[in-house]
Amino acid sequence: MTIQIGDRIPSATLSQGTPEGPKPVNTDEFFAGKTVALFAVPGAFTPTCSARHLPGYVDNKAELKAKGVDVIACVSVNDAFVMNAWAESQGLTADDVVMLADGNGDFTRTVGLVLDGKGFGLGERSQRYSMLVVDGVVKELNIEQGGEFKVSSAEHLLAQL
């Protein structure tokens, strides 16, 4: 079942690339006491994700923070090394966007937002979406229709704040 507005983010372990290697990130701790703009992409280094989705959140960072967002985070069904390399290729730091790896897709399956990309040789990935999470509870949820990039954009989420 797909997560809904009003639901609590499920307890899961994601991973974040650090200079010392992958670091586990517990969702209970990560979302506790914060307002998080979370967005998910089907894959690091993919065209729309690299050219529009991730840069949109970076470009709108100041406006999101001014509206009360404490942390901007990106999740993808990639490993922490790939997410870290993607951030580096975009010139980002964790102060810009926290890159969260869902290497096995466990978080993505738990929130019910799996994209079946097997027909394209991609396996199971995440649907493209954004959500506003306040102290672990989903306040806004924007799930894209197949192949679209509209409601998960930083601009759309910013307009909801």
Q: 97: domain CATH number?
A: 3.40.30.10
54, part of any domain: yes
Report the C-alpha gap between 96 and 70 in whole angstroms.
11
Q: Which residues pair with 87 in a beta bridge?
A: none
Which amino acids are annotated catalytic?
A: 49
- Name the average pLDDT for the chain: 93
6, part of any domain: no
Kindly report, residue by residue over 59-90, the tens digit of the pLDDT: 999 999 999 999 999 999 999 999 999 999 99
Residue 105 corresponds to which tokens in the numbers above? Answer: 């897709």
As a dihedral over the C-alpha atoms of residue 89, residue 110, residue 123, residue 139, rounded to 10 degrees, the angle is: -50
1, part of any domain: no
Which pTM value belongs to this model?
Answer: 0.94
| pLDDT at 123 (0 to 100) | 66
Q: Which residues pair with 116 in a beta bridge?
A: 124
82, part of any domain: yes
20, part of any domain: yes
Kindly report, residue by residue over 10-52, the tens digit of the pLDDT: 999 999 998 899 999 999 999 999 999 999 999 899 888 788 8
Q: How many domains does the chain have?
A: 1
102, part of any domain: yes
3, part of any domain: no
7, part of any domain: no
State the residue range of the domain holding 102.
Answer: 13-160
Pairing of strands 13-18, 114-116: unpaired
Report the C-alpha gap between 81 and 71 in whole angstroms.
21
What is the arithmetic mean of pLDDT over 104-117?
Answer: 91
| pLDDT at 105 (0 to 100) | 95
Q: Is the pLDDT of residue 53 over 70?
A: yes
Report the C-alpha gap between 84 and 76 in whole angstroms.
11
Pairing of strands 71-76, 98-101: parallel
The Cα diameter of the chain in Å comes to 41
